[in-house]
């Protein structure tokens, strides 16, 4: 028996010497061969078999003719499509074609169905073999034709013709399309054009388009602009308005909004009130809250976590290590000790003068870490840890940048002082904290000498309020709460993330406070809802189908600000229609609203979160980079791009600036203490003076990281009537632009810039992924500030406490930043810690050079005794210190920065270090006949 299904070609009859052979080709490796038949019989059988074989193939094709014709027409249409061949449109057809191919097309024999039909079948089969390439070809053809077809529309939809990138973003219509719209790249024009194009081209009806914005005024502006530009009445809505409408449609009524839902200040005040009430009402919770403020408010890093003194001191200054008693201490471990003493009612002094006068012997006055005022007990905390030695013993070691031998010698000296003067010294050590017994050990050591009198929780909390520490913590709690609700997190998940990301005891202490605060917050909502509830409730209605979405195109503005809950709502709406699309416009470089719940992960993983599926690939999407700014000149645009891309997690984008600057466009003006107002006036005077007569008054935007930085605007406007002056916080300035931007108080510190508060690593507990790059969001805030400027950007920064961002901009030539100072000054590195030596004016009118970390590093040098202005520096490879004025001095043999000057002692004249008594370096005075010539000096350089 021969199955017609197995025959792969017409049978062949051949005459041979031993009779006729009939071969029937099949799918098997060997053809079926029949021998010995007469030729006429074999020929008749062959023709009959051929006819049956052809009829069999044609009959099979005829049974699926309608399906095949649809498929073939779709494949042909894909070569010149009339609609963008999005994955959601083509994917079902691929599945259908593969099913038909497996069941029929792969089994049809070309010779049986004829050359014309065989060619048509081959078209479909080629598509099945490589649908991705076929779709890519269709997309290219469609985009090319559509750009030409709608050229007049793109030329006239806005006041200026759309750019090539903007046109492409409008025409592209993938399952999920992400338009990367940098600062000043015309994103509003793109959304306006997209909405109008969808309706005018007949792709969608107005009611099938959902325009989403984050702010009410942005939504209103977008609605007006779309209708004005296109004549199409499409109402843009905020996420909250949409969610509220969905709830109303499904539930028949809309629940009342919480009073604080639309008021950030009221929200923060509610959190503050909850904290206050919990302290006064619940003992376990109140203890957790007090423990947070006493021991975990700042990051618990010590000198062991840093490689250099400069890094350590910079960290300390950013943390503001202020005790409950109110003084600033010099390490986290000292902070723990001080706060434990305060909690337990033990009165103390921090770094008091030792009660006995000591023989100088070249040392500074002795100031122990703590003195207990009632008992007279002294406490010294030593920064040493224990290290195992090869022989099984142990030795004490210091932090990487601390001279171990010198430090241990200092410990011995302090012990000897107390022994000699019969004062009681209690010692604590860094290794005790490392072993988790610093405070319990301290309690045991103090037990024979003091009686603990723990202060009431309310008393301690009132003290925390006086220190203004509750406000910033309430903001952190509020941000965490919003992200916690928005992302649908649980406390168990947060605890697991804490373990995974090694956030330690601080994260546990935070969650111990957050859990009761969150529980109380939910109670106080009563029957009302907040915005997070609103979005999540609407999302659930869409997910379950209780809300039937009419929307097939969802256009989202400012997509970088989207939160987990908003993303969930968008996904739920999209999932209701197989052909629904998302068109998102945003800039991950401007994602600066984490405190309001935004999650940059959603934009960085746009395809995974919102994309479609095609040919086995998931996350199918299209990204279009607008790649152009209509705002900033080249120097600002390029510097801002370089600055933000230091974080490798940011999406790369090309920037084409608005113009070319002929003079330095970015300037940094360093200010001395209490000089900010004067320097700002000088900057504004310079801008005002450059305005040509009769020209329109230039706009000047003053920016600050915080509201409290706003200067007296009424006074400034009166001083500079030729300027149009405005003040905004950087966050409030987003979307604005000005001819000139002045960034105020770009300084370091906990409430500096970068802010140490908003970038708290605890927020990673409620983020899909951590942002490991230091100050990631604050770097984006700086980018927003920089890109508000069209022509010039001026940054005012403290000379003694400049922002790390300012230091970076000044230090690296690639940024092209011009530093403006009263006179050209060279930056000098502090030999003691690696910080900067700053030029300061002493009370005596003399010039000195002091380390920027004055609170921690005591390096202080006089100016050159010869010129009284410059700082002599050591000449490499020599024992000399040379000043730019030409004066030369012997280098100090003991320290890096000092030099020797003539001094008088009990045994006559000698050479001593200018840093005495901090440094006791000295040398013998050379004999007169061999003494080198000295420069003329104004004094002996004594301190």
Which sign, positive or negative, has the C-alpha torsion 50, 55, 61, 66?
positive
Same domain, 210 and 285: no
Residues 282 and 311 occupy one common structural domain: no
Each residue's pLDDT tens digit, 204-218: 999 999 999 988 888
Is 648 within a domain?
Answer: yes
Give the integer Cα–Cα distance in Å for 727 and 701: 6
Q: Is residue 37 included in any domain, yes or no?
A: no
The structure tokens 């509201």 sit at 707
* 3-class SS shares of the chain: helix, strand, coil, % to 5: 45, 15, 40
Please give the helix or strand (H or E) that residue 210 lies within, else none. strand 209-213
Same domain, 420 and 480: no
Q: What pTM did the predictor assign?
A: 0.81
Return all residues near 830 (Cβ < 8 A) that are at least 6 apart: 310, 836, 837, 851, 852, 853, 857, 859, 897
Least confident of 47-56, 244-253, 654-663: 47-56
Which pLDDT band holds residue 928 (cuts at 50, 70, 90)?
low
- Sign for the pseudo-dihedral over CA of 103, 104, 106, 108: positive
For 173, the token pair is: 């219509």
Render pLDDT for 782-825 as a digit per residue (tens, 0 to 9). Answer: 999 999 999 999 999 998 888 999 989 988 888 988 876 544 45
Q: How many domains does the chain have?
A: 5
pLDDT of residue 16: 62
**What CATH number is given to the structural domain containing 563?**
3.40.50.300
The whole-angstrom distance between residue 918's C-alpha and the CA centroid of its chain comes to: 42
Q: What is the mean pLDDT of residues 557-561?
A: 93
**Residue 104 within a domain:** no
- Mean pLDDT of the chain, nearest integer: 89
Has 182 been labeled as part of a binding site?
Answer: yes
Residue 181 labelled as part of a binding site: yes
Q: What is the average per-residue pLDDT within 163-177?
A: 96
Q: Is the pLDDT of residue 238 over 80?
A: yes
pLDDT tens-digit map of 586-618? 999 999 988 778 888 999 999 999 999 999 999
**224 and 272 both lie in a single domain:** no
The radius of gyration of the chain from alpha carbons, rounded to an integer in Å, stands at 38
- Per residue in 13-25, pLDDT (tens digit) is 666 656 666 667 7
Burial degree of 814 (CB within 10 A; 0-12, 13-18, 19+): exposed
Is 187 annotated for ligand binding?
Answer: yes
What is residue 87's predicted lDDT score, i.e. its pLDDT?
95
Q: Report if residue 43 sits inside a domain.
A: no
Domain assignment of residue 141, yes or no: no
Tracing tokens 């909405």 back to the chain, one arrives at 195
Pairing of strands 818-820, 888-890: unpaired
Hey, CA dihedral for 651, 653, 659, 661, is it positive or negative? Answer: positive
Q: Strand runs (DSSP E) across 786-835, as ranges?
A: 789-798, 818-820, 828-829
User: Are residues 487 and 586 both part of a single domain?
Assistant: no
Residue 941 has pLDDT above 70, yes or no: no
Do 805 and 894 lie in one domain? The reply is no
pLDDT of residue 10: 74
pLDDT value for 938: 36
Residue 299 has pLDDT above 90, yes or no: no
d(CA 518, CA 511): 10
Q: Which of 794, 820, 846 is the last residue of a domain?
A: 820
Rounded mean pLDDT of 719-737?
Answer: 93
48: which residues sit within 8 A by CB, 6+ positions away?
A: none
Over residues 210-234, mean pLDDT: 87
Q: Is residue 773 part of a domain?
A: yes
- pLDDT of amino acid 939: 36
Distance between CA atoms of residues 328 and 349, nearest Å: 12
| Enclosing H/E stretch for 35 | strand 32-37
Tokens describing residue 291: 């423990």
Same-domain status, 703 and 789: yes
Model confidence pLDDT, tens digit, residues 681-700: 999 999 999 887 778 899 99
Closest C-alpha among 753, 485, 569, 789 to residue 665: 789
- Does residue 6 contact residue 28 with C-beta atoms inside 8 Å? yes
Joined tokens for residue 66: 């309608």
Residue 375 confidence (pLDDT): 95
Q: Is 597 annotated as a binding residue?
A: no
Split at pLDDT 50, 70, 90, the class of 935 is very low
Cross-strand bridge partners of residue 553: 209, 581
pLDDT at 43: 72
Nearest C-alpha neighbor of 747 from the set 822, 862, 669:
669
- In 617-698 the beta strands, taken as DSSP E runs, fall at 617-620, 622-625, 666-671
Range of the domain at 352: 298-463
Q: 215 labelled as ligand-binding?
A: no
Statement to judge: residues 895 and 919 lie in one domain = yes
pLDDT tens-digit readout, 108-132: 888 888 899 999 999 999 999 999 9
Query: How many other CB atoms sit within 10 Å of the CB of residue 207?
Result: 11
Q: Is 184 annotated as a binding residue?
A: yes
CA distance 194 to 186: 13
Provide the pLDDT for residue 1: 53
Q: Taking 60 as the threshold, does the pLDDT of residue 387 lie above it?
A: yes
Among 463, 495, 511, which residue terminates a domain?
Answer: 463
Percent of the chain with pLDDT over 70: 93
Domain check: are 239 and 356 in the same one? no
Tell whether 794 is in a known binding site: no
Residue 823 is predicted with a pLDDT of 44
Q: Is residue 73 part of a domain?
A: no
- pLDDT band for position 9 (50/70/90)? confident
The residue among 6, 51, 60 whose CA lies nearest residue 31 is: 6
When mean pLDDT is compared across 47-51, 256-260, 391-395, the lowest value belongs to 47-51
User: Residues 774, 657: one domain?
Assistant: yes
pLDDT digits 0-9 by tens, 399-441: 999 999 999 999 999 999 999 999 999 999 999 999 999 999 9
Query: Which of 759, 786, 820 lies at the terminal end of a domain, its last residue?
Result: 820
188 is in an annotated binding site: yes
Whether the CB-CB separation of 553 and 210 falls below 8 Å is answered with yes
One domain for residues 450 and 517: no
> Are residue 643 and residue 788 in the same domain, yes or no?
yes
Does residue 577 lie in a domain region?
yes
Contact 910, 890 (CB under 8 A): no
């Amino acid at each position: 028996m021969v199955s017609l299904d197995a025959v792969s070609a017409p049978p062949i009859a051949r005459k041979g010497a031993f009779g006729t052979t009939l071969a029937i080709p099949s799918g098997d490796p060997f053809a079926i061969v029949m021998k010995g038949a007469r030729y006429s019989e074999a020929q008749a059988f062959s023709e009959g078999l051929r006819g049956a074989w052809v009829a069999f193939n044609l009959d099979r094709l005829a049974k699926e003719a309608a399906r095949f014709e649809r498929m073939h027409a779709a494949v042909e249409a894909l070569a010149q499509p009339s609609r963008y061949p999005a994955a959601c449109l083509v994917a079902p057809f691929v599945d259908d074609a593969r099913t038909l191919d497996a069941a029929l097309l792969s089994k049809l024999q070309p010779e049986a169905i004829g050359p014309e039909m065989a060619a048509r079948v081959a078209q479909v089969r080629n598509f099945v073999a490589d649908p991705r390439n076929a779709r890519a070809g269709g997309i290219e053809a469609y985009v090319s034709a559509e750009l030409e077809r709608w050229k007049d529309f793109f030329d006239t939809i806005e006041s200026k013709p759309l750019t090539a990138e903007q046109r492409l973003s409008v025409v592209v219509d993938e399952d999920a399309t992400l338009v990367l719209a940098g600062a000043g790249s015309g994103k509003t024009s793109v959304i306006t054009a997209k909405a109008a194009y969808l309706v005018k081209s007949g792709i969608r009806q107005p009611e099938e388009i959902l325009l989403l914005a984050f702010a009410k005024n942005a939504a209103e502006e977008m609605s007006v602009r779309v209708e004005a530009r296109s004549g199409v009445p499409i109402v843009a809505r905020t996420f909250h308005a949409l969610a509220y409408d969905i709830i109303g449609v499904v539930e028949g009524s809309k629940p009342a909004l919480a009073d604080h839902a639309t008021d950030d200040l009221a929200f923060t005040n509610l959190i503050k009130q909850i904290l206050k009430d919990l302290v006064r009402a619940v003992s376990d919770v109140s203890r957790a809250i007090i423990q947070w403020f006493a021991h975990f408010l700042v990051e618990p890093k010590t000198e062991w976590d840093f490689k250099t003194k400069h890094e350590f001191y910079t960290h300390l200054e950013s943390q503001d290590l202020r005790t409950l008693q109110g003084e600033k201490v010099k390490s986290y471990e000292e902070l723990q000790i001080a706060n434990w003493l305060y909690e337990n009612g033990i009165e103390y002094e921090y770094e008091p003068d030792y009660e006995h006068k000591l023989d100088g012997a070249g040392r500074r006055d002795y100031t122990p870490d703590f003195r207990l005022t009632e008992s007279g007990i002294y406490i010294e905390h030593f920064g040493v840890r224990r290290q195992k030695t090869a022989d099984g013993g142990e030795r004490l070691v210091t932090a990487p940048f601390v001279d171990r031998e010198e430090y241990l010698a200092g410990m011995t000296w302090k012990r000897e002082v107390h022994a000699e003067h019969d004062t009681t010294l209690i010692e604590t050590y860094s290794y005790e904290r490392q072993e988790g017994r610093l405070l319990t050990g301290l309690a045991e050591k103090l037990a024979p000498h003091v009686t603990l009198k723990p202060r009431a929780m309310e008393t301690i909390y009132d003290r925390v309020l006086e220190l203004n520490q509750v406000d910033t913590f309430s903001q952190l709690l509020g941000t965490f709460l919003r992200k916690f609700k928005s992302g649908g997190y649980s406390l168990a998940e947060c605890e697991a993330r804490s373990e995974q990301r090694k956030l330690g005891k601080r994260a546990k202490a935070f969650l111990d406070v957050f859990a009761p605060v969150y529980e109380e917050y939910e109670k106080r909502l009563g029957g009302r809802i907040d915005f997070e509830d609103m979005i999540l409730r609407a999302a659930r209605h869409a997910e379950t189908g209780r809300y039937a979405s009419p929307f097939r195109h969802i256009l989202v503005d400012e997509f970088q600000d989207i939160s987990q809950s908003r993303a969930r709502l968008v996904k739920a709406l999209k999932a209701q229609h197989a052909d629904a699309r998302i068109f998102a416009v945003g800039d991950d470089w401007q994602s600066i609203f984490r405190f309001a719940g935004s999650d940059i992960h959603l934009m960085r993983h746009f395809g995974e979160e919102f994309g479609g599926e095609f040919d086995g690939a998931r996350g199918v999407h299209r990204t279009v980079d607008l790649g152009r700014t209509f705002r900033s000149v080249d120097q600002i645009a390029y510097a801002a791009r370089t600055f933000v891309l230091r974080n490798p997690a940011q999406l790369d984008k090309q920037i084409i600036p608005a113009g070319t600057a002929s003079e330095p466009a970015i300037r940094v003006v360093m200010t001395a203490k209490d000089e900010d107002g004067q320097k700002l006036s000088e900057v504004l005077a310079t801008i005002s003076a450059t305005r040509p007569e009769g020209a329109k008054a230039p706009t000047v935007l003053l920016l600050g990281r915080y509201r409290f930085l706003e200067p007296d605007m009424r006074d400034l406007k009166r001083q500079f009537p030729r300027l149009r002056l405005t003040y905004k916080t950087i966050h409030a300035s987003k979307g604005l632009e000005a001819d000139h931007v002045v960034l105020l108080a770009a300084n370091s510190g906990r409430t500096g810039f970068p802010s140490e508060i908003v970038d708290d690593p605890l927020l990673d507990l409620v983020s899909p992924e951590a942002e490991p790059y230091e100050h990631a969001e604050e770097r984006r805030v700086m980018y927003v500030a920089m890109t508000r400027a069209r022509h010039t950007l001026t940054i005012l920064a403290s000379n003694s406490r400049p922002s790390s961002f300012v230091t970076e901009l000044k230090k690296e030539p690639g940024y092209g930043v011009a530093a403006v100072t009263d006179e050209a000054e060279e930056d000098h590195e502090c030999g003691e810690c690696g910080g900067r030596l700053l030029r300061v004016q002493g009370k005596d009118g003399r010039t000195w050079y002091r380390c920027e970390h004055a609170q921690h590093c005591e390096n202080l040098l006089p100016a050159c005794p010869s010129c009284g202005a410059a700082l002599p520096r050591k000449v490499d490879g020599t024992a000399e210190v040379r000043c730019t004025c030409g004066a030369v001095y012997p280098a100090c043999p003991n320290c890096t920065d000092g030099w020797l000057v003539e001094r008088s002692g009990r045994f006559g004249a000698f050479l001593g270090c200018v840093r005495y008594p901090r440094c006791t370096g000295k040398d013998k005075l050379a004999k007169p006949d061999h003494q080198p010539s000295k420069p003329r000096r104004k004094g002996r350089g004594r301190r």
